[in-house]
Structure 1
Amino acid sequence: MKGRRVTALLVGLAAALTLTACGVPPSDVIQAGEPASGMYSPRPKPSEPGVVFLYFLDDGDPTAYPRKIGDTADLGNVVDQLFGGPTRSEAVTATTELPRLADTPAVTVGGGKDVSIKLPNDVAPFSQPAMLQLACTVAHARGSFVPLPAATHQDAAHTAPPLDAQRSPTHTSVSVLGDGWTMRQSDDSCPDPPQP
């Protein structure tokens, strides 16, 4: 019984000390001005599916082929799609000189319009047409995207660029880094990108 009384007394004493709040007197609300504010950073909008133009070869010339892509802002995804080669419907007229890669290449966007693509090991240097495919695709992907029409499918048929297409005033340069080799290509020789 004595233990219970001591415990009850200690609990009562602790409650009394808590209620006195160490002698701090109560006060009213103190006005301190405007509520806290700071930089507002809205959540990024999720990217919408769209169409990007991948450059494959048609009779040896780089030609734009529309391709549905989930994240049009992801240049690495665009490059990966290009290395994947033409789809079955694109392959009717399209070929590629780019190899199929075992691993995804690392894409780095530098200052200005420079893009570097680091390839997995054991990839041979590219031909001039393959370098043009890369440079044209990257240049177009960095410059413009076309919203995806409701009726477009993954295997959309090839569409020729319209005659009134115009080249962007700035040029892109692509550096490809292989295992012991580096190649560089600008988009100067690329055909004008198609217009929506």
Structure 2
Amino acid sequence: MKGSRAGALLVGLTAALTLAACGVPPSDVIQAGVPASGMTSPSATPRASVAIPLYFLRDGDLASYPRKVYDPGNLGAVVRLLSDGPTGSEAETATTELPRLTDTPNVTFDDGKVFSVQLPKNVPPFSHLAMRQLACTLARVKPPSAPAPTDTSRGSVASALPPTAQHSLVDRSVQVLGDGWAMTQSAASCPGSQG
């Protein structure tokens, strides 16, 4: 027993002398601010936001309200953002007919003309104005691998549409698939579209 106690004492004394010989003085906890967080790669570039027009109702008619998004190609997220309705400042002049969605819908873009929106369960059929809001918003979002049509009804969002984008905007439509119902709406009646 005496040998093991003496061995432990010798190991402890050796460790203490080794630390003292390194020149590291003992200290208390030093408060130095916020803990370090993850490092970023110098080659990583921050994602830029893009302004897209969301269509709400102003005095009973469609009007675009620019919103900044980081991934306009995520069409389901765009529809969900639209269904969330106007922001606090937009609500001074804007209303919506769209119901608030509890889940992000599945949105596809077929043949360069038709957006198909598969809604979550238990969403009631949309009104005519709600369908127009949805059709006009999606018609002006750049779907994956398509040229970006723009909106001319508010100068802060975009410039004039080139002739090819004007025709493709008019040709676009939205098909909404609900729980036991389906509706289709053309973007031809959107503000700023030309036929």
| Shorter-chain TM-score tier | 0.5 to 0.7
What is the Cα-based RMSD across aligned positions, in Å? 2.4
**Structure number with higher relative contact order (C-alpha < 8 Å, ≥ 6 residues apart):** 1
The DSSP-based 3-state class of the residue aligned with 2:166 is coil
C-alpha distance after superposition, 1:82-132 (max 9, x if no partner): 011110011110100000011111111111211100111111110000000
Alpha carbons of structure 1 residues 46 and 116: separation in structure 2 relative to 1, 3 Å: farther
CA displacement at 1:76 relative to structure 2: 1.8
Partner of 1:65: 65
Q: Which runs of 5+ in 2 are unaligned?
A: 1-44
Partner of 2:187: 187
1-structure distance, mates of 2:114, 2:153? 27
2-structure distance, mates of 1:137, 1:168? 15
TM-score, normalised with respect to structure 1: 0.63
CA contact (8 A) 2:153 2:191 kept: no
Alignment of 1:1-196 (within 5 A): 48-142=48-142, 144=148, 161-162=154-155, 165-166=160-161, 168-170=166-168, 171-192=171-192
Partner of 2:5: none
2-structure distance, mates of 1:173, 1:46? 33
CA displacement at 1:80 relative to structure 2: 1.4
The DSSP-based 3-state class of the residue aligned with 2:125 is coil
TM-score, normalised with respect to structure 2: 0.63
Alpha carbons of structure 1 residues 108 and 47: separation in structure 2 relative to 1, 3 Å: farther
CA contact (8 A) 1:47 1:73 kept: no
CA contact (8 A) 1:56 1:62 kept: yes
1-structure distance, mates of 2:98, 2:140? 18
In structure 2, what residue type is equivalent to 1:169?
H
The DSSP-based 3-state class of the residue aligned with 1:52 is strand
Q: Which runs of 5+ in 1 are unaligned?
A: 1-44, 147-158
Q: Percent identity?
A: 52
* Number of residue pairs the alignment of both structures matches: 136
Which structure has the larger Rg? Answer: 1
